[in-house]
Amino acid sequence: VEGLAPRSCGRGSHEGQPVLVRNAPPGAVVQVRPFARKKGVIHGRRTALVQPPPDAVVPRCEAFLLCGG
């Protein structure tokens, strides 16, 4: 993932085509399942976090994904 796009989507590319993925932080390597193509942009869902970004930190609370901390 190369950067952030609007609505907290990760922005990257695959075979030269732009890809937007929710819950994909910049610097991460993710697996994506495409679900739509709009105006030349592939929209996908993250299916796996292959490698977290180098500056990632582990949340202190188990409920972080539910409430944001």
Q: Which pLDDT tens digit goes with each residue over 23-66?
A: 888 898 889 999 888 888 999 998 998 888 888 887 788 777 67
Identify which of 25, 18, 13, 12 has the alpha carbon closest to the alpha carbon of residue 55. 25
Please check the confidence at residue 4 and state whether its pLDDT lies above 70: yes
Q: Look at the pTM and tell me if it is higher than 0.75.
A: no
What's the confidence (pLDDT) of residue 49?
Answer: 85
Give CA–CA dist 40/52, Å, rounded.
27
Closest residue by Cα to residue 29 from 9, 59, 53: 53
pLDDT at residue 33 in the model: 92
Length of the chain equals 69
Q: What is the pLDDT of residues 5-27, one digit of tens each?
A: 877 788 998 888 999 998 888 89
Residue 5, pLDDT score:
83
